[in-house]
Amino acid sequence: MVKATALVFFLGALLLSHAQTGESQPNCTFSDVRFAVERTGKAVGGQPEDRVTFSTACPCKLTGVRVWCDGVQDGPEQLDESKVEFDDGMCVLRQPIAAGSPLSFTYTSRTPVNFRLYSATADC
C-alpha cells in the first residue's frame, strides 16, 4: 500500500512539474479563430471590394483552416490563390494562421458573405 501511495504521489508531482514548466499542450478551440471584414474603399467591376482577415489567439499555428464563405466567388475579382482556394462553398486557407500573423485576402461579392469556421487544426 505504501508503494502504491508513493507511486501516485510521484506521478502527481511529475505531472504538476510538467504543467508548471509550460510544456503542456495548449487547448485551442474554435473561439480562438477570429475574422473581421472591412471595405477597402476600392471597386472592382463596379462592385465594392472587401478584405477579410483571419487571426487567432491560439499560441499554436492553425493549419487546415476551412471556412464557409459562399458568395466570395460571385464577384468579378479573382481570389488570391496563394492565400485561399474556393472549394464547394468553402474557403480553404493555403497558409497557416498564428498569433501575431493574421492572414487576409480581398474579394468582391454581389451578396453579403457569412464567414463561419468549419474546421482547423492546432499544430503544436
Q: Provide mean pLDDT across the span 90-106.
A: 94
In a domain, 119, yes or no: yes
Residue 78 has pLDDT above 50, yes or no: yes
- Which residues are paired to 37 by β-bridges? 52
Q: Provide mean pLDDT across the span 102-110.
A: 93
Range of the domain at 46: 29-123
Could you list the beta-strand ranges (E) of 45-109.
Answer: 47-56, 61-68, 84-87, 90-93, 103-108
In a domain, 59, yes or no: yes
| CB burial of residue 84 (10 Å; 0-12, 13-18, 19+) | buried
Number of domains, the chain: 1
Task: List the single range of 31-35, 52-56, 116-120 with lowest mean pLDDT.
Answer: 31-35
Q: Provide mean pLDDT across the span 87-101.
A: 93
Q: What is the pLDDT of residue 22?
A: 45
Average pLDDT, the chain: 80
Where residue 122 falls among pLDDT bands split at 50, 70, 90?
confident
Q: Provide mean pLDDT across the span 33-58.
A: 93
In a domain, 98, yes or no: yes
Question: Which CATH number belongs to the domain containing residue 77 in this structure?
Answer: 2.60.40
In a domain, 8, yes or no: no
Residue bearing cell 468582391: 108
DSSP, collapsed to helix, strand or coil, labels residue 33 as: strand
In a domain, 16, yes or no: no
Q: Which residue has the higher pLDDT, 78 or 23?
A: 78
